[in-house]
Amino acid sequence: MRITLDRTRCTGHGRCYAMAPAVFDADDDGYGVIRDGGELAPGDEQEARRGAANCPEDAISLEE
Partner 1 sequence: MTGTDTTPSEDVRRDPAAEPGAAEGSLFDPEIARNPQPVYKAMRDLAPVVDLGERSPTGGVALGKHEDVVAGLRAPDVFSSGFDAVRIGQVRPLIPLQIDPPDHVAYRKVLDPLFSPRRVAALEPRVRELARHLVEAVADDGACNFNAAFAEPYPSTVFLELLGLPVSRATEFIAFKDGIVRPPARTPEEREEMVIETGRQIYAVLEEVVDARTRAPKDDFISAFLTSEVDGHRLTRDDVIDICYLFFLAGLDTVTASLDCMLAFLAEHPHHRRQIVDDPGLIPNAVEEMLRWETPVPGVMRLTTQDTEMSGCPIAAGSHVVMLLASANTDERAWDRADEVDFTREVVKHLAFGGGVHRCLGSHLARLELRVALEEWHARIPEYGLAPGTELEYSPGLRQIEHLPLVW
Binding residues vs partner 1 (CB under 8 A): 11-15, 17-18, 26, 28-31, 50, 53-57
Element housing 49 (H / E): helix 45-53
- DSSP state for residue 28 in the 8-state scheme: T
**Nearer Cβ to partner 1, position 45 or 54?**
54
Amino acid identity of 13?
Answer: H
Give least dist CB 15 to partner 1, A: 7
Amino acid identity of 23?
Answer: V
Give least dist CB 36 to partner 1, A: 20
- DSSP state for residue 21 in the 8-state scheme: T
Give least dist CB 57 to partner 1, A: 7
